[in-house]
Amino acid sequence: MQTGSNSTARWKASDTRHHLHPFTDYKALAEEGGSRIITHAEGVHLTDSEGHRILDAMAGLWCVNVGYGRRELAQAAFDQMQELPYYNTFFKTATPPSIELAERLTALAPEGLNHVFFGSSGSEANDTIVRMVRHYWALEGKPEKQVFISREHAYHGSTMASASLGGQAAMHGQGGLPLPGFEHVMPPYWFDYGDTLSPEAFGEAAARAVEDKILAIGPEKVAAFIGEPIQGAGGVIIPPESYWPEVARICRQYDVLLIVDEVITGFGRTGHWFASEHYGLKPDIMPLAKGITSGYLPLSAVMVGDRVADTLVREGGEFFHGFTYSGHPVCCAVALANLDIIKREGLIEKVQNETGPYLAERLRDLSDHSIVGEVRSLGLVGAVELCADKANRTHFDPVGKAGVICRDHCIGSGVVLRAVRDAMVISPPLIFEKAHIDEAVETLRRSLDLTAQDMGMI
């Protein structure tokens, strides 16, 4: 493919003219001269159209778990495309890759999640869940159990139902969201909501907010609670250890289904196949996507527990829901090859025993920085919270400005990190070595210095 300044200028102009990007301010993008064009990637590095080599400490969008340039995944796609490039899974048909992947996922997932419904994206998975759960309660003779409870700052996707499940105020400000039947409670975000409580006491208080909401709505109307084990796109909010056991207990007490969204945390990110293992969770339903194929092809899976699936099977009647690409054979074949790589290369053990603890240690080194209020991580996902006043956990004004400045300094220095409000977020490929962590953290430290200057702190 042609690269260099000539093609870069042409691509940027054409992109700005014709291409509406996700989550983008189109006016600002045009004024800033258009997009960065990524043309190639290998291992943990991206190359842009001007030949810059960039360390990808975000694994794309938290998804390229096995890193870029895996010939084995390309081969799996090629072979499956030759054998059977497409067939659907509607109308009593199936394909070998979709069957094999369903079996493999149920063997890996937490106990009881023995059934799989496929889609192409995390959003589709969560929309599927909303429809399936409401259908389940109707079949159980409790059609009034319709309401979903989620958290502020949650991200569950961009479709109407998944964005309603999400707790992103900016998203809710557009298009009349959330839809009726979606309620939100305080997230287990000690840095912002913890006030004078200890993290553990705050974790219990945040769990109680779930109980209070169930009681306010009426348990007979609450279908399910949904939460990411760690709220990723909301800023890598890692709950105090007291939070999840209490939420799980409350869900059981009021007969509310527990949905654990592992779209980011699945497939090794936290040093386990699923973060549910770390928190001792037994979800009724668990959506998966991203790392399932390491982002090489679009695929999602709703893992459905015996309780819900048994009712669907016992009661019968068609579930009027599905996608053309549910169980796409090429995507499933790539997912199987991707799971092979994760297992064969011991990537989960590597995160748990080596790189996860090392990332935690290196991030801790940043705690003494004048604009760092908190560092947090689990496995290979972490955040560095920037603030104006460490002692009082006071944010910069306006919130989000320092984050963008710091992110731009990082990218300008050749490392992709992300800013969520003023939290600098890291979520690299699971093949990251200690030297890559050093490079990312040292670049972040230099960027923090520059950000402190830009914000008038030095």
User: Does residue 155 touch ligand PMP according to CB under 6 A?
Assistant: yes
Strand arrangement of the beta sheet that strand 423-426 belongs to: 372-378, 381-386, 423-426, 418-420
Buried b (16+ CB within 10 A) or exposed e, 73-84: beebbeebeeee
User: Does residue 289 touch ligand PMP according to CB under 6 A?
Assistant: yes
- In the complex, what is the shortest distance from the CB of residue 341 to ligand PMP, in angstroms, rounded to a whole number? 21
Q: Provide the token pair at 44.
A: 């943990």
Query: Which range, of 153-161, 167-175, 179-187, 397-405, touches ligand PMP by CB under 6 A?
Result: 153-161
User: Does residue 274 touch ligand PMP according to CB under 6 A?
Assistant: no
User: Does residue 264 touch ligand PMP according to CB under 6 A?
Assistant: yes
The CB density around residue 272, as the number of other CB atoms within 10 Å, is 21
Looking at 67, 188, 232, 429, which residue binds ligand PMP (CB under 6 A)? 232
Nearer to ligand PMP, 289 or 347 (CB): 289
Q: Which residue is nearest to ligand PMP (CB)?
A: 122
User: Does residue 337 touch ligand PMP according to CB under 6 A?
Assistant: no
Give the C-alpha separation, 52 to 331, whole Å. Answer: 31
The CB density around residue 352, as the number of other CB atoms within 10 Å, is 18
User: Does residue 403 touch ligand PMP according to CB under 6 A?
Assistant: no
Looking at 151, 156, 269, 369, which residue binds ligand PMP (CB under 6 A)? 156
Residues numbered 23 to 62 that lie near ligand PMP (CB under 6 A) are 61
Decide if 95 contacts 335 (C-beta within 8 A).
no
Decide if 153 contacts 326 (C-beta within 8 A).
no
Residues numbered 124 to 143 that lie near ligand PMP (CB under 6 A) are 126
Nearer to ligand PMP, 95 or 427 (CB): 427
Q: Provide the token pair at 177.
A: 């969201």
User: Does residue 121 touch ligand PMP according to CB under 6 A?
Assistant: yes
Q: Is the peptide bond before 178 cis (omega within 30 degrees of 0)?
A: yes
Give the C-alpha separation, 360 to 381, whole Å. Answer: 9
Which residue has 């998975």 as its token pair? 125
The CB density around residue 5, as the number of other CB atoms within 10 Å, is 10
User: Does residue 122 touch ligand PMP according to CB under 6 A?
Assistant: yes
Decide if 66 contacts 341 (C-beta within 8 A).
yes
User: Does residue 261 touch ligand PMP according to CB under 6 A?
Assistant: yes
Looking at 116, 233, 286, 430, which residue binds ligand PMP (CB under 6 A)? 233
Nearer to ligand PMP, 264 or 372 (CB): 264
Give the C-alpha separation, 362 to 443, whole Å. Answer: 12
- In the complex, what is the shortest distance from the CB of residue 231 to ligand PMP, in angstroms, rounded to a whole number? 8
Residues numbered 61 to 80 that lie near ligand PMP (CB under 6 A) are 61
Please give the size of the binding site for ligand PMP, defined by CB under 6 A: 15
Residues near ligand PMP, by CB under 6 A? 61, 121-123, 126, 155-157, 228, 232-233, 261, 263-264, 289
